[in-house]
C-alpha cells in the first residue's frame, strides 16, 4: 500500500513539475516576443534608421540590424552613394500583426508599416517622394549584444505606385491654394 501511495505522489509531482515547466517556458516565450518587438522598434528609431539613410552611414544600422538584413542595407547605401542620392525615411505608423517564437533566441515579427520616403540629390534638391504601406516579416535574433533584426521579407500593400516628383507635388499644393515646398539639404549631409 505504501508503494502505491509513493507511486501516486511521484506521478503527481511529475505532473505538477510538467505544468510548472510549461508555465516557465510560456513566460520565456513571452519575454522573447516582447524583446523582439522592442528590437524592431529600436531598429526603426530615427537616430538609427533615418539618420543612417540621410548620412548613408551603415555603421549606425549595426545598433539594431545584423545578418542579411544589414548586408542588404549596406548595398542600398552604396548604391545611393554611387547615384549621388540620399533618402529621408519617415516612419508614420507601425503596427505589430504577429510575433511567433522560432526558438528561444529567434522570433518572427510581422508588422504593417507606413512610410514617407523622400529622395534627394547630394546638393539637397528634392527629386520626389513616395508614401508606402508595407508588411515586413522580420526574423529577430538574440546574440551576445542583444536582439537584432537579421532577416527581412517585405511586401508592398499600398501607397503611391511610383515616386512623385517635387514639381508635380508643388503643382498639386498650388492648385489647393498652398505654397510650394522649399528644398534644402538634410541634416548630416
**Domains of the chain by residue range:** 2-175
Strand positions, DSSP E, the chain:
85-103, 106-121, 126-143, 146-159, 164-165
- The DSSP letter of residue 48 is I
So what's the architecture of 2-175 in CATH? Roll (3.10)
The C-alpha cell at 87 is: 533618402
Tens-binned pLDDT, residue by residue, of the chain (189 aa): 555 554 565 555 555 565 444 444 555 678 999 999 999 999 999 999 999 999 999 999 999 999 999 999 999 999 999 999 999 999 999 999 999 999 999 999 999 999 999 999 999 999 999 999 999 999 999 998 899 999 999 999 998 878 888 665 555 555 556 655 544 444 444
The C-alpha cell at 38 is: 522592442
Alpha-carbon distance of 170 to 73, in angstroms, equals 31
Alpha-carbon distance of 77 to 116, in angstroms, equals 18
The predicted pLDDT at position 27 comes to: 54
The C-alpha cell at 26 is: 510560456
**3-state SS, residue 138:** strand
**3-state SS, residue 76:** helix
Amino acid at each position: 500500500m505504501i508503494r502505491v501511495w509513493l507511486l501516486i505522489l511521484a506521478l503527481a509531482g511529475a505532473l505538477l513539475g510538467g505544468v510548472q515547466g510549461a508555465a516557465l517556458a510560456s513566460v520565456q516565450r513571452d519575454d522573447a516576443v516582447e524583446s523582439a518587438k522592442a528590437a524592431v522598434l529600436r531598429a526603426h528609431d530615427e537616430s538609427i534608421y533615418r539618420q543612417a539613410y540621410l548620412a548613408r552611414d551603415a555603421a549606425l544600422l549595426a545598433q539594431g540590424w545584423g545578418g542579411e538584413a544589414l548586408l542588404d542595407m549596406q548595398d542600398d547605401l552604396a548604391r545611393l552613394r554611387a547615384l549621388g542620392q540620399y533618402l529621408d525615411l519617415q516612419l508614420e505608423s507601425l503596427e505589430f500583426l504577429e510575433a511567433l517564437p522560432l526558438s528561444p533566441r529567434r522570433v518572427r515579427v510581422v508588422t504593417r508599416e507606413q512610410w514617407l520616403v523622400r529622395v534627394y540629390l547630394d546638393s539637397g534638391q528634392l527629386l520626389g517622394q513616395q508614401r508606402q504601406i508595407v508588411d515586413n516579416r522580420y526574423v529577430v535574433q538574440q546574440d551576445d549584444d542583444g536582439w537584432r533584426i537579421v532577416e527581412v521579407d517585405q511586401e508592398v500593400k499600398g501607397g503611391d505606385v511610383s515616386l512623385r516628383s517635387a514639381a508635380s507635388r508643388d503643382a498639386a499644393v498650388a492648385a489647393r491654394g498652398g505654397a510650394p515646398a522649399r528644398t534644402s539639404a538634410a541634416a548630416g549631409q
